[in-house]
Chain A
Amino acid sequence: DTGVSQDPRHKITKRGQNVTFRCDPISEHNRLYWYRQTLGQGPEFLTYFQNEAQLEKSRLLSDRFSAERPKGSFSTLEIQRTEQGDSAMYLCASSLTGTLNTEAFFGQGTRLTVV
């Protein structure tokens, strides 16, 4: 499967615990996005990377959230001291930007439930 993959698919955690999600983009894609989606809403931008550089973080992203893409390939999103309001689907997407611009392809998402 050469699509965007995310791991885990589901995560249940207790409030206050830290969680880390992983995203493997399509291999030649240089741009990687993280979105959060709650029921009845469209995907909400969190952050994005161009290769290994994190170019923007949403104002909605608190200090408890951090993302990395150390070698410009896979990315991780960590949430520290989780709160119930963090419960959502976390979506990763990748695209190719530059001379040829492709649409963004999404992974299946990681559904986080904070209890």
Chain B
Amino acid sequence: EDKVVQSPLSLVVHEGDTVTLNCSYEVTNFRSLLWYKQEKKAPTFLFMLTSSGIEKKSGRLSSILDKKELFSILNITATQTGDSAVYLCAGLNYGGSQGNLIFGKGTKLSVKP
């Protein structure tokens, strides 16, 4: 069965720290890996990674995919309290099980002032 595993499950840091969130996947007919940020309500899209080794950046956030080792990381530099959220990773497949978007349990990040 397809699965996505995130680590750590929770993380507490102080403002200004850099964090790395991990996501490993076993997804049949893998197409892409997606990262979402979830605060109070709906997940909001961050990145979609399809090619291995190409870093995507958005401000202080960056992410990269390794399709050989089946994992992705999300980096946040100079963290701010507004980065506190649950970060979700999801594997997208070519029309396999689970509607082709399989989520991990998320990493809960808490950034202290």
Contacts and interface: CB of A to CB of B under 8 A. Distances in A.
B42 A45 contact: no
Given A106-B43, A107-B42, A108-B42, A48 B99 contact: yes
Q: What range describes how many residues of A lie at the interface?
A: 20 to 34
The majority secondary structure among interface residues of chain B is strand
A82 interface: no
Interface residues of B, number: 25
A109 interface: yes
Nearest to A105: B45
A45 B34 CA distance: 15
Contacts of A106: 36, 42-44
Contact of A47 (B43, B99, B104): B99
Interface in A4-53: 4, 31, 33, 35, 40-45, 47-48
Interface of B: 4, 6, 31-32, 34, 36, 41-45, 48, 88, 90, 97-106, 108
20 contacts: A4-B42, A33-B101, A40-B108, A41-B106, A42-B6, A42-B105, A43-B43, A45-B98, A45-B102, A48-B100, A55-B99, A56-B98, A91-B42, A95-B101, A101-B31, A104-B45, A104-B101, A106-B43, A108-B41, A108-B42
